[in-house]
Amino acid sequence: MSNEKGPDHSRRKERSRQAIFAATRALVAEEAYKNVTVEAIAARAGVGKQTIYRRWPSKSAVVFAALLALSEDAGGLSVALPDTGDLRADLKLVMRATAKEFADPSFDRPIRALNTEIANDAALAAEYREKLAQPLEEAKKARLRSAQEVGQLSADADLDLVLEVLYAPLFQRWLHRSGPLTDAYADSLVDATLRAFGP
Amino acid sequence: MSNEKGPDHSRRKERSRQAIFAATRALVAEEAYKNVTVEAIAARAGVGKQTIYRRWPSKSAVVFAALLALSEDAGGLSVALPDTGDLRADLKLVMRATAKEFADPSFDRPIRALNTEIANDAALAAEYREKLAQPLEEAKKARLRSAQEVGQLSADADLDLVLEVLYAPLFQRWLHRSGPLTDAYADSLVDATLRAFGP
């Protein structure tokens, strides 16, 4: 190889990236967010602090990258919505799974951490929207469009609004811990959304 | 006066409380939240740091108390909903005002700060619900009940769900900066909610 940064270098770099991300996710899941520091991530990943700072400018940036990679590595975590031809049944399946996910303690802390970052940093919020929220929303809208084509959803429904009415109550209830995240609640959001935007 | 902590003491204590709250709100509005410290609040209020720590255990606690008092001092900030007899018109008035409030930069930072605190502290979230969110929700539900009585809202609508479908999309759109907070958007939330829960 004429390139001195050959495959060994790339493999080492990727291994170190994975170790940093795994350490970050573990700490975010275990610790109060203010106790997750770049020092602690470096120690747990077995790398020097500078290895982290060479690639990410701040704790926020590495936390965000680690959580984003989690979804990318999973092949885009639940991107495609089921399409059995029955919109109500498909949405109930998805919303019940989403409610269960939000109610899971191992999901709770990392996603609170991510939300804290994006709520307080407009640039990160834009990156989050572009890289994570919008691809997910596009996949969901594809399912809603196929429902519009078969007359299960109003042809002139604003699909951004449909998704907000469906998901935002669950998100807010989780964020403010203002009520239970049950199957019945998931179903009631689907039913309300279909009454609002049905044919 | 036989009581050595007489009216002068009470007045001084109240003046110091007001100065601390005013300084807290000013800093929260001007600074990135991580730069708002108990030291900075004390300096701006012209009191010693210990004066703050004697009454509140942490930055979170004094920020939360200052924002809570803002609403209490205003006599419970927009607690009562208008009741002209036309639910749709009344809700559009309220939701347009709410969208305008959220879009106002002087409101934005303090409420982001408050949301950051309650998202990451279950005890504070419970206090927020009890002292601020629930009284507001009760006032809103009173208006929804009067609409149920005159047949403008389904008699068996779950009023907690109605409020979530009405407000949570606006809250999420503001928190994630994912879309404009316009009059048209406010109206579309009212229309969707009334389609979902109308008679």
| Nearest by CB: A195 against B118, B176, B196 | B196
Find all residues with CB under 8 Å of A128, minimum gap 6, and list them: A64, A68, A114, A118, B176
Question: What mean pLDDT is predicted for residues B37-42?
Answer: 95
- Confidence class of residue A1 from pLDDT cuts 50, 70 and 90? very low
Q: Region of A85 please: left (phi>0), alpha (psi -120 to 50) or beta.
A: left
DSSP codes joined into one string, B9-37:
HHHHHHHHHHHHHHHHHHHHHHS-GGG--
Contact A172 B168 (CB under 8 A): yes
Contact B192 A197 (CB under 8 A): yes
In this complex, how many residue pairs, one in chain A and one in chain B, have their CB atoms less than 8 Å apart? Answer: 100
Contacts of B112 in chain A (CB under 8 A): 119-120
- Confidence class of residue A38 from pLDDT cuts 50, 70 and 90? very high
Q: Write down the ipTM of this complex.
A: 0.80
Is residue B123 classed exposed, middle or buried when 0-12, 13-18 and 19+ CB atoms within 10 A define those classes? Answer: exposed
Number of Cβ within 10 Å of residue A56's Cβ equals: 18
| Nearest by CB: A172 against B33, B128, B164 | B164
Q: What pLDDT shows up at residue A72?
A: 65
- Separation of alpha carbons A6 and A13, rounded Å: 11
More confident site: B31 or A62: A62
- Separation of alpha carbons A161 and B168, rounded Å: 12
Whether B1 shows a pLDDT value over 50: the answer reads no
Number of Cβ within 10 Å of residue B45's Cβ equals: 21
Contacts of A178 in chain B (CB under 8 A): 129, 133
Q: Any idea which of A193-197, B33-37, B83-87 has the lowest mean pLDDT?
A: B33-37
What class, spelled out in words, does domain B7-73 have in CATH?
Answer: mainly alpha
Percent of chain A with pLDDT over 70: 92
Contacts of B164 in chain A (CB under 8 A): 168-169, 172-173
Question: What mean pLDDT is predicted for residues A172-180?
Answer: 92
Mutation target to probe the A interface, by most A beta carbons within 10 A, among B164, B166, B167 is B164
- Separation of alpha carbons B27 and A77, rounded Å: 40
Contact B112 A120 (CB under 8 A): yes
Question: What mean pLDDT is predicted for residues A19-48?
Answer: 90
- Separation of alpha carbons A84 and A126, rounded Å: 33
- Separation of alpha carbons B148 and B154, rounded Å: 6
How far is CA B109 from its chain centroid?
Answer: 12
Q: Any idea which of A66-75, B15-24, B28-37, B172-181 has the lowest mean pLDDT?
A: A66-75
Domain ranges of chain B: 7-73, 87-197
For the domain A7-58, what is the CATH code? 1.10.10.60
What Rg do the C-alpha atoms of chain B give, in angstroms?
Answer: 20
Task: Locate the chain B residue with the closest alpha carbon to A130.
Answer: B178
- Confidence class of residue B12 from pLDDT cuts 50, 70 and 90? confident
Q: What is the pLDDT of residues B76-115, one digit of tens each?
A: 445 568 899 999 999 999 999 999 988 887 778 778 888 8
Listed residue (A152, A133, A167, A161) closest to A199, CA to CA: A152
CATH superfamily of A87-197: Tetracycline Repressor, domain 2 (1.10.357.10)
Contacting B with CB below 8 Å, chain A residues are: 32-33, 112, 115-116, 118-120, 122, 125-126, 128-129, 133, 158, 160-161, 164-165, 167-169, 171-173, 175-179, 188-189, 192-193, 195-197
Structural contact between residues B70 and B26, judged by C-beta atoms closer than 8 angstroms = no
CATH topology match: B7-73 vs B87-197: yes
CA distance B43 to chain A (A): 24
Contact B119 A176 (CB under 8 A): yes
Percent of chain B with pLDDT over 90: 52
- Separation of alpha carbons A55 and B116, rounded Å: 27
Find all residues with CB under 8 Å of A9, minimum gap 6, and list them: none
A78 backbone dihedrals φ, ψ, rounded to 5°: 50, 40
